[in-house]
């Protein structure tokens, strides 16, 4: 009986340890906790944020820019010895317009197409594509913006859209089709330093429902634990 108890206790501890480890994912040095929750107790799955993004729109209405990811699931120490940066472009103005002149009003430009590349940058090694994405269009729009002006001055500027994963080290974790209209990611940006409607700096967030395929799911671990228990019981019977 003591042997059985010890075996069961060991199996339980091993399963518990595996469950706790299963929540932590490491891809190319970038880590995140899939079991993380926000201050209100809601599951984060994967939520990234950036305090630094620069967006420009050229004369042809094509939106592009760069940024640095500053946190994942409320954790700023997610990339030991590395950084995550991103670039984006190819978002073409499809409907609506940008303000010009001494105007007051709310403008709602929408963009089609687009791409976003997230790169993991190492101190002593070449940068690697961590996640490659393209715009996911809903009713012809992959990105919708809002620009509020007063007497020709932009007072507020923000936008959001959706993306599909197409490649990169972490692609298998995010190609889940679980966000808006079956997209893999939704994102949003708020601009706090607005030089013009075509040139702005700000911050943003991006969220996704993730899946973990390289480590056991809790249900699988529970089944494995039951298997160990059954094996221990079987051996005990044979020993009698």
pLDDT digits (tens, 9 = 90+) for 199-237: 999 999 999 988 655 444 444 334 333 443 343 444 454
Measured distance CA(15)–CA(165) in Å, rounded: 32
Tracing tokens 């978002």 back to the chain, one arrives at 91
* pTM of the entire predicted model: 0.79
Task: Name beta bridge partners: 189.
Answer: 159, 204
What pLDDT is stored for residue 17 in this prediction? 42
Look at residue 180 and tell me whether its pLDDT is greater than 60: yes
Q: Which tokens belong to 191?
A: 């601009």
Give the H or E element holding residue 234: helix 218-239
In terms of C-beta density within 10 A (0-12 exposed, 13-18 middle, 19 or more buried), how is residue 205 classed?
Answer: middle
Task: Please enumerate in sequence order all residues whose Cβ is within 8 A of that of 108, keeping only pairs 6 or more positions apart, or say none.
Answer: 96, 144, 145, 146, 147
Measured distance CA(170)–CA(30) in Å, rounded: 9
- Nearest to residue 234, comparing CAs of 14, 3, 16? 3
pLDDT digits (tens, 9 = 90+) for 105-142: 999 999 999 999 999 999 999 999 999 999 999 999 99
């Amino acid at each position: 009986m003591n042997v059985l108890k010890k075996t069961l206790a060991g199996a339980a501890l091993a399963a518990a340890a595996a469950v706790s480890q299963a929540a932590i994912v490491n891809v190319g040095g970038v880590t995140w906790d899939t079991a993380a929750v926000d201050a209100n107790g809601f599951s984060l799955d994967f939520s990234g944020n950036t305090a630094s993004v620069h967006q420009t729109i050229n004369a042809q209405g094509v939106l592009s820019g760069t940024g640095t990811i500053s946190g994942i699931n409320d954790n700023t120490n997610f990339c030991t010895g590395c950084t995550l940066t991103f670039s984006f472009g190819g978002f073409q103005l499809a409907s609506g317009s940008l303000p010009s002149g001494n105007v007051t009003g709310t403008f709602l430009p929408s963009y089609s197409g687009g791409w976003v590349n997230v790169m993991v940058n190492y101190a002593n090694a070449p940068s690697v594509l961590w996640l490659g994405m393209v715009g996911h269009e809903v009713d012809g729009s992959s990105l919708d913006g809002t620009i509020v002006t007063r007497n020709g001055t932009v007072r507020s500027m923000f936008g959001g859209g959706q993306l599909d994963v197409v490649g990169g080290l972490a692609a298998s974790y995010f190609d889940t089709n679980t966000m808006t209209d079956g997209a893999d990611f939704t994102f949003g940006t708020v601009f706090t330093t607005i030089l013009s409607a075509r040139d702005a700096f700000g911050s943003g967030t991006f969220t996704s429902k993730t899946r973990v395929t390289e480590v056991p799911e809790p249900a699988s671990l529970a089944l494995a634990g039951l298997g160990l228990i059954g094996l221990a019981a079987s051996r005990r019977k044979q020993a009698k």
